[in-house]
Amino acid sequence: MAVEHQQRTWRQLPLFGEETAHERPGASGDGGTEPAACEEEQAATALNRERALTNQLMERICERENLNRAYKRVKANRGAPGVDEMRVDELYDWIKAHKEELVASLLDGSYEPQPVRGKAIPKPGGGERQLGIPTVVDRLVQQAILQVLSPLLEPQFSESSYGFRPGRNAHQAVQQAAEYVAEGRVVVVDFDLEKFFDRVNHDVLMARLARHVTDKRLLRIVRRFLEAGMMWDGVCVKRYEGTPQGGPLSPLLANLLLDDLDQELERRGHCFCRYADDCNIYVKTQVAGERVLASIITFLKERLHLRVNRSKSAVAFVEERQFLGYRLLRGGRLGLAPRSIQRIKQRIRAITRRNRGVAFERIIRELNSFLTGWVTYFRYAECRTWLQRLDEWIRRKLRCYRLKQCKRPKAIFNFLRQLGVPRWSARELAGTGRSWWRKSRCPQAHQAMNKAWFDSLGLVSLFQRYVRLQP
């Protein structure tokens, strides 16, 4: 029997122990079923279960099934190593050797997270976003905590909150905002929280969590995760505020903190949509919008110790602002925000940069991967004309890249001839001294690398895919 147990694969073997007889539903020592409980016993059981939701959360976190699910999620998400350089594929062996002490440290509340690895990434709108990459083991623990806390906190969150929540997405937020505009609320109070994830007040956040959780062990461990140092270039910097993006628990904690804002807006009867720290309030007049913005700035500062970036916040007509990449139009229609068009062009320029020196087929694959996701996200926008223009511009960028790959006039001549361009015409383009960008617009380049040629290479057409996605 022991031999069979050792030969089972890791996929079949629960990492944190086998199920025992007393843990199986309906199992009992005498092999029979338990007698039906009376109403008083059922009420007492329900009360004890309710208390266990807050008093004994750590026991639920450390349950075998919960920890195994957390492991599978961390394994599936992959991710970069933390400060200890442990990779995700090394986690299984670590668990086999240390699972007892890991569970024991969680149950007695002594678990100590390691510092997070700091990484700065550029924001699409300028500036940098700080990421904090926890170690793989810390990600496992955070995921296990998330799986228990999320069902407890989620039902209490606002219906107008859409970010980082199961069963909710950005499209739902945009469509709800469009409904508000269709009802005549054509002025938006668009406020930006200044470096929200970096400036979350730990005391305020823990006070909100303590409203729902009385398990002191869990509160201590969550606090340690918040206060874990951040490693920058080998130097560990202490943190007294913020919940850096990168860990599984940060989005839930952010929603918990901002739930106070949601409740305040609902109490005032406002129509709003919030996606993480991006919140828009829809009103009917400019005067009302200015009044709402001023009061919300005061509320956030006094109650949540958060600051509003006044340079990025405004009260304006909906057409003048964007929400999650979309532009809201009168009547509740949706369009592409100008900034979204700028971003897709920046990304395409980066992929088709002429000095990259990679195969043309790889360029096509990278473009297809990006363009497919992009047009799927913006499928609700009215943007047929824009997409046709983008398709033409993308093909020209690719013509320019492909001609540059040829480098010499003779190679350009041979390439054009292979694609059916007459000899005299191919010689004319190959011998011209124009820039690569101007060459890509010449009739010979269009004749050789026409739309049918790009289709044969499998290039995604934004316009065609957009049309197929329409209901």
Between these two residues, 148 and 128, which has the higher pLDDT value?
Answer: 148
SS (H, E, C) the chain: CHHHHHHCCCCCCCCCCCCCHHHCCCCCCCCCCCCCCCHHHHHHHHHHHHHHHHHCHHHHHCCHHHHHHHHHHHHHHCCCCCCCCCCHHHHHHHHHHHHHHHHHHHHCCCCCCCCEEEEEEECCCCCEEEEEECCHHHHHHHHHHHHHHHHHHHHHCCCCECCCCCCCCHHHHHHHHHHHHHCCCCEEEEEEECCHHHCCEHHHHHHHHHCCCCCHHHHHHHHHHHHCCEEECCEEECCCECCCECECCHHHHHHHHHHHHHHHHHHCCCEEEEECCEEEEEECCHHHHHHHHHHHHHHHHHHCCCCECCCCCEEEEHHHCCECCEEECHHHCEEECHHHHHHHHHHHHHHCCCCCCCCHHHHHHHHHHHHHHHHHHCCCCCCHHHHHHHHHHHHHHHHHHHHHHHCCHHHHHHHHHHCCCCHHHHHHHHHCCCCHHHHCCCHHHHHHCCHHHHHHCCCCCHHHHHHHHCC
Asked whether residue 286 carries a pLDDT value surpassing 90, the answer given is yes
Q: pLDDT of 116-126, one tens digit each?
A: 888 877 776 66
Please give the average per-residue pLDDT across 292-316, as a whole number: 93
Q: How confident is the model at residue 2 (pLDDT cuts 50, 70, 90)?
A: very low
* Tens digit of each residue's pLDDT (9 = 90 or more) over 212-268: 999 999 999 999 999 988 877 778 777 778 887 888 999 999 999 999 999 999 999
Mean pLDDT of 397-408: 95
Mark 397-419 as b/e (b = at least 16 C-beta within 10 Å). bbbbbbbbbbeeeeebbebbbee
Average pLDDT over residues 69-78: 94
- Predicted confidence (pLDDT) per residue in 226-238, tens digit: 998 887 777 877 7
* pLDDT, tens digit, 9 for 90 and up, residues 187-220: 999 998 988 888 899 999 999 999 999 999 999 9
Confidence of residue 41 (pLDDT cuts 50, 70, 90): low
pLDDT digits (tens, 9 = 90+) for 315-367: 999 999 999 999 999 899 999 999 999 999 999 999 999 888 899 999 999 99
185, burial (CB in 10 Å: exposed 0-12, middle 13-18, buried 19+): buried
Close Cβ partners of 302 (under 8 Å, ≥ 6 residues apart)? none
Distances (CA, A) of 366 to 66, 285, 346, 347: 37, 45, 14, 11
Quick count: other Cβ atoms within 10 Å of Cβ 109? 15
- 282/120 Cα distance (integer angstroms): 33
At 56 the pLDDT is 84
Q: What is the average pLDDT value for the chain, to the nearest integer? A: 87
pLDDT band for position 17 (50/70/90)? low
Q: How far apart are CA 469 and CA 245, in angstroms?
A: 32
Angle between helices 384-406 and 409-418 (to 10 degrees): 130
Instruction: Tell how far CA 337 is from the center of its chain.
Output: 20
Confidence at 54, pLDDT banded by 50, 70, 90: low
| C-beta of residue 78 within 8 angstroms of C-beta of residue 86 | no
What are the two backbone dihedrals, phi and then psi, of residue 330, each rounded to the nearest 5 degrees? -55, 145
